[in-house]
Amino acid sequence: MIRLSGRFRSALIIGGQGIRARKTRTLLSMVSLFLGVLAVVVVQVGAETTKSARLADLELHAGKDGTRQTYLPGNADTIQIGQDTLKGRTDAVAISFTQAIIGEPGVSPVNPGGAPFDQPGGGQYAYPDGVEIFCDARGYCQPMQVAGDAPDVPVPGQAIELSLNALTGDIRQFRPFRSVSGQWLDFSSDPSLSPRIVVNLEAAKGFMRHQVPAEMRVEGTTANPTPRIIGVIDDGNMHPTAYTRADELQNWVPRSSNAGNYGPGLQVMLAPTAGDLEQLLRIRLTASGMPAEQIHFETIQARKEIAKELALIRWIFLGMAGLVLLIGVAGILNVGLATVGERVEEFALRRAVGTSRSLLAGIVLAETLLTGLLTAAAAIGLSALGLTAISALFGDRDQFLQDLAFPWQAGVAGVIAGLAAGLLGGLIPAIRAARIPIATVMRA
Amino acid sequence: MTALLELHGITKTLKGQKAPRTILDGTDLTVDRGESVAILGRSGSGKSTLLSLIGLFDRPDGGQYLLDGRDITRLPERKAAALRSAEFGFVFQRFFLLKHLTAAQNVAMALVNGQGWLPRRKRRARTLEALDRVGIAHLAKHRPARLSGGEQQRVAIARALVREPRLLLADEPTGALDTETGNLVIEVMRSATERGCGLILVTHDWDHANKMQRVLRLSDGALHPATDTRSVASVSGPARHRAAMGMDRTDAERSEVAR
Ligand SMILES: Nc1ncnc2c1ncn2[C@@H]1O[C@H](COP(=O)(O)OP(=O)(O)OP(=O)(O)O)[C@@H](O)[C@H]1O
Ligand SMILES: [Mg+2]
């Protein structure tokens, strides 16, 4: 231990003296290496930032990694079993889907089918008679022929159609909605008679543009309730959507009426730890007569999918960065070989006074490794600074730019790149230094 | 008591221009503790080669090398480095000071070699003491560029002495100095032997050689007792007296005595 630390300290002193005596050379090595390390760091920053942005997007839409989820048919029994089983559980949520029109009674909404408001034509779709837009739970909408005779289409009026998601619990543990204003649904209080709803950004846009009276028509309601909009969130969905407590909505919509016309009848999301619940649900559903093979849980693996998606691009860019880095290695190697050539006598002399080969090689290597590390520090510092500058300058244009943070993976990649370059560029000079015969000092 | 150093039948062949050349061919040498030996010889006779074998810079092709009676002929390099650090001090014709370091740092270089660790304060004390022994403690902060040749060589001697070696190996240490400075340098080294350090001095200068206890000549790859070919009147020193009184023994005889 003492011997090792003695060697280490000697190496530090000798390496330090070497670097101090050749500041310009060290600087030149760093310059030649800088672009390469910077390229690696920037590629990693880009890849990680894209990845986390995509991941955040995907989490909003599909749910967090590891979440177990299933879609169940929308018959009344199934929905009832699902909602009852999950009732009061904080580690699971069941979502049932329906369409709602909020506004003037007896008119057709400004966005039939719950379309976004900013589509060409201002969202005022004109479909042929008998065609309506149907959207599934993921927000994919398509026009569909309504069976039978074309119904009388009411005149357009001040009303907004949106998809209404009724929740048994807090969905944000699975889909981390960003709060924009107001509050989120409170699941701990008693259900209120006028349903509280939280709308997404697109729906909020509709309410800002169109002065709509607050009456909510939900398919199958016994009487139209007056909803209270208590908050706005960003759920990443471009279609107007509203969220409400399932038990509050049930005061108005008998369960049997939810025929599951609008996508799957019931979506169930479970925390990875809620395995018991999955079992329970399975047992109850099969007991009610549902075939077991219809109940299919899947695990959300967003990270893996994104990684696959980005891997190729990342490797292509890293490959190019690696080439630039290689040029830097050639630079370090060049300087290193020249330096060893110049220090032949010094190294022979150091060996003569008892410095071992390995320590000498270690010192040469340590000098280039230190150079690599310093370069990495400079490159990382510059990219972090650049990122902060971009975030400060353009942050108001996009939420995504505002949240920019230097990913630690890029820092690690930079340090590894610097060390690897130092190792590659220093190895040959180190071996040469160790091979210098001591007798050189006698012949010179 | 065993001698400090014994060489028996050392051979060394170096690659020549065309054919390999045998430089050392059965060289014998015994040096006692604290003994000073001068080695003379024509240029190219292999004096430096011999010193590089003694100093463990290189290994002989044949023969035996004993240090304190211990066979170190085939010592692995790692252990050789430790011995170079602990047992030997080297002085060369050119001074080999590192020009980016001060005199003190150049001396301390022998202490900062990965062989044992001394804290900074002890290093400084030892360094200054070594510089003081060669009479240039006041130049500790000077870089080599600001030192005269004699001063530089004395820094090199201080570097060789700083670890208190048991044998000083000097290869023509005065070769690059004028006569007066050369004499001073030899005197500095000789005074080191008074503290028990052995000295092998390779030189071309009979005056310097005669200040050693024994004078040997290397020729045809072997060491022989040397006799001063110049007029006896101009020679002084212990070697001459002993030679004159027939006190010089051959190495073979000395080995006999040692056993
Ligand atoms: N690395 C080497 N490879 C081959 N031959 C060498 C090598 N080094 C020295 N020689 C040869 O070995 C012989 C002895 O060299 P050495 O340096 O020992 O002589 P020397 O007695 O010290 O001479 P000088 O008094 O000029 O310093 C010389 O002829 C030299 O040419
Ligand atoms: Mg020589």
Q: What is the pLDDT of residues B84-106, one digit of tens each?
A: 999 999 999 888 999 999 999 99
| Whether the predicted pLDDT of A146 surpasses 60 | no
Which chain residues have CB less than 5 Å from ligand 2, an ion? B 48
Instruction: Name the residue with the closest Cα to ligand 1, atom 25.
Output: B43
Please, what sign has the CA dihedral across residues A400, A402, A405, A410? positive
More confident residue, A192 or B99: B99
Query: Which residues from A are below 8 Å from B109, CB to CB?
Result: 349-350, 353
Index of the ligand 1 atom closest to the CA of residue B204: 25
Say if ligand 1 is within 6 A of residue B127 CB: no
**HSE, side-chain direction, 13 A CA sphere, residue A44:** 23
Angle at B32 between CA B29 and CA B36, to 5 degrees: 85
Query: Which of A25, A356, A357, A443 is best to mutate for the B interface (most B CBs within 10 A)?
Result: A356
Q: In what order do the strands lie in the sheet with B36-40?
A: B88-91, B167-171, B198-202, B36-40, B214-219, B222-225
Residue of A nearest to B161 (CA): A353
Taking only the tens place, the pLDDT of each residue in A325-344 is 898 899 889 988 998 988 89
| Whether the predicted pLDDT of A39 surpasses 60 | yes
Q: Report how far residue A37's alpha carbon sits from residue A325's, in angstroms, rounded to the nearest whole number.
A: 6
Q: Which domains does chain B have, with CATH numbers?
A: 5-258 (3.40.50.300)
Q: Which residues of B lie inside 8 Å of A (Cβ-Cβ)?
A: 48-49, 51-52, 55, 57-58, 77-78, 81-86, 90, 92, 94, 96, 98, 100-101, 105, 109-110, 112-117, 159, 171
Q: Which residues contact B43 (CB under 8 A, 6 or more apart)?
A: none
* Ligand located closest to A439 CA: 1
Question: Could you tell me if B97 and B153 are in contact, meaning their C-beta atoms sit under 8 angstroms apart?
Answer: no
Q: State in Å: Cα B203 to ligand 2 middle.
A: 9
Tokens of B185: 């340098």
Residue A14 CA: distances (Å) to CA of A331, A358, B157, B168: 23, 14, 21, 25
**Shortest CA gap A55–chain B (Å):** 52
H-state helical runs in chain B: 47-54, 77-87, 103-108, 120-133, 149-161, 179-193, 206-209, 238-244, 251-258
3-state DSSP call for residue A254?
coil
For residue A3, what pLDDT is reported? 56
For chains A and B, what is the number of CB pairs under 8 angstroms? 92
Say if ligand 1 is within 6 A of residue B203 CB: no
More confident residue, A251 or A364: A364
Q: Report how far residue A319's alpha carbon sits from residue B49's, in angstroms, rounded to the nearest whole number.
A: 52
Average pLDDT, integer, range A292-305: 83
Question: Could you tell me if A107 and A155 are in contact, meaning their C-beta atoms sit under 8 angstroms apart?
Answer: yes
Question: Could you tell me if A37 and A376 are in contact, meaning their C-beta atoms sit under 8 angstroms apart?
Answer: yes
| Whether the predicted pLDDT of A123 surpasses 70 | no
How confident is the prediction for chain A on average, in pLDDT? 81
Supply the DSSP symbol for A262: S
Angle at B118 between CA B116 and CA B122, to 5 degrees: 150
Q: Report how far residue A190's alpha carbon sits from residue A326's, in angstroms, rounded to the nearest whole number.
A: 66
Question: Could you tell me if B125 and B131 are in contact, meaning their C-beta atoms sit under 8 angstroms apart?
Answer: no
| Whether the predicted pLDDT of A278 surpasses 70 | yes
Please, what sign has the CA dihedral across residues A102, A103, A105, A110? negative
Q: Report how far residue A272's alpha carbon sits from residue A174's, in angstroms, rounded to the nearest whole number.
A: 10
Distance of CA A228 to the CA centre of its chain: 32
B10, B45, B217: residue to mutate for ligand 1 pocket, most atoms within 8 A of CB: B45
Query: Which residues from B are below 8 Å from A9, CB to CB?
Result: 117
**Shortest CA gap B44–chain A (Å):** 11
Q: Report how far residue B233's alpha carbon sits from residue A388's, in angstroms, rounded to the nearest whole number.
A: 88
Nearest to A436 by CA among A348, A337, A346, A338: A348
For residue B247, what pLDDT is reported? 46
Question: Which A residues, 326 through 355, put their C-beta within 8 Å of a C-beta on chain B?
Answer: 345-346, 349-355
Amino acid type, B109: M
Query: Which residues from B are below 8 Å from A437, CB to CB?
Result: 57-58
Tokens of B217: 């000549």
Interface check for A10 against chain B (CB to CB < 8 A): the answer is yes
Per-residue pLDDT of chain B (259 residues; tens, 9 = 90+): 678 999 999 999 988 788 888 999 989 999 998 899 999 999 989 999 999 999 999 999 999 999 988 999 999 999 999 999 999 999 998 889 999 999 999 999 999 988 888 888 999 999 999 999 888 999 999 999 999 988 999 999 999 999 999 999 999 999 888 888 899 889 888 888 888 889 999 999 999 999 999 999 998 989 988 877 665 444 444 554 444 444 444 454 444 444 4
Q: Where does residue A408 rank: exposed (0-12), middle (13-18), buried (19+ CB within 10 A)?
A: exposed
Question: Could you tell me if B31 and B37 are in contact, meaning their C-beta atoms sit under 8 angstroms apart?
Answer: yes
| Whether the predicted pLDDT of A121 surpasses 70 | no
Q: Report how far residue A9's alpha carbon sits from residue B211's, in angstroms, rounded to the nearest whole number.
A: 41
Q: Report how far residue A108's alpha carbon sits from residue A102's, in angstroms, rounded to the nearest whole number.
A: 10
Rounded to the nearest 5°, which phi and psi values hold at B91? -130, 130
| Whether the predicted pLDDT of A9 surpasses 80 | yes
Instruction: Name the residue with the closest Cα to ligand 1, atom 13.
Output: B44
In chain A, where are the structural domains located? 2-60+304-443, 68-110+156-300
Q: State in Å: Cα A96 to ligand 1 middle.
A: 96
- Tokens 């000395």 belong to which residue? B254
Index of the ligand 1 atom closest to the CA of residue A437: 1
Write down the number of H helices and E strands in chain B.
9, 10
- Tokens 């993921």 belong to which residue? A138
Q: Report how far residue A229's alpha carbon sits from residue A180's, in angstroms, rounded to the nearest whole number.
A: 13
Tokens of A18: 């070497």
Nearest to B163 by CA among B133, B135, B136, B185: B133
